[in-house]
Structure 1
Amino acid sequence: MKKRILAIDDEQTIGVILENFLAEDYEVITKRSGAEALDWLETLLPDLIISDIQMEPMDGFQLLQEIRTIGYMRHTPVIMLSGRTESSERIKCYQMGAQDYLTKPFNPEELKEVVKKNLFPIHFAASW
């Protein structure tokens, strides 16, 4: 059974790109807003979440805060995406509980490795 990834981005193109890059190895569900994602999370549980930061009306920071307050989502890995490169934004994501942060445009190979790192932590890896 494939691991399930929830990808949230208000730009449809990014959702399609994420799905195309990851669908071979994972079940990818895309949502266009934080509210859509929270509604979906009431019925299913992903193994990993990838979220844009700059979204309206609920931005990625607000979504991350909501996710971390849901008891059963507390330990779900979250990767944040942003077009901004300021280290202060990256630090804020880490302080709020995100595991990783990628800038857009992202390298597809780096995305795949960051996803794999978060879904299969090294101490669980069968081989190097």
Structure 2
Amino acid sequence: METILIVESNTMMRLFLANYLENDHSVKAVKSPADALEWLEGNEVALILADYQIKNSKEYQELSQLKKQADLNTTPMIILTDNDKSEQRIHALELGVSDSISKPFSPVELSLRVNVALKSGQLRTRFQKVA
């Protein structure tokens, strides 16, 4: 079963995401990008689902580092942004994420986007192994 790493500072949202996604996936939920970096040292992950971090903050830099580390494994990342702010989506895309979802979101939309990102990551991994 593929592992999804959730990086979410809000406890209630982190629990909701973990409970919702663990029906179909193995899930690891942490509260900060620093915790995610530490966990990734000994573990593999198929997808990272992370809360938006304010650009130029320490957490944003850690999220950027997380994305760079995950790129070594062609791991897709989805960012959860606040209230459909285009500025946050732009910052997420600059970070190199696969997708962004605005809060509040439909759980069905979340599932669909997660599944698309996982398939995309699998394809990238296969192409990389062939090249």
Which TM-score band applies after superposition, normalised by the shorter structure? Answer: 0.7 to 0.9
Residue of structure 2 equivalent to 1:14? 13
Unpaired runs of 5+ in structure 2? 124-131
Residue of structure 2 equivalent to 1:29? 28
Alignment of 1:1-128 (within 5 A): 2-54=1-53, 58-59=58-59, 61-70=60-69, 73=72, 75-121=74-120
The aligned amino acid for 1:66 is Q
TM-score normalised by length of structure 2: 0.81
Q: What number of residue pairs does the alignment pair up?
A: 120
| Whole-Å separation in 1 of the counterparts to 2:52 and 2:70 | 22
Q: Secondary structure at the match of 1:120?
A: helix
What are the superposed Cα offsets for residues 48-99 of structure 1, whole Å, 9 maximum, x if unpaired?
Answer: 00000148x743x323310233276462100001214221221221121101
What are the superposed Cα offsets for residues 18-59 of structure 1, whole Å, 9 maximum, x if unpaired?
Answer: 11111110001000111111100111011000000148x743
Is the contact between residue 36 and residue 66 of structure 2 (CA under 8 Å) also seen in structure 1? no
Q: 1 or 2, which has the higher helix percentage?
A: 2
% of aligned pairs identical? 31
TM-score normalised by length of structure 1: 0.83
What's the RMSD between the two structures over aligned residues? 2.2
Unpaired runs of 5+ in structure 1? none
Q: Secondary structure at the match of 2:43?
A: coil
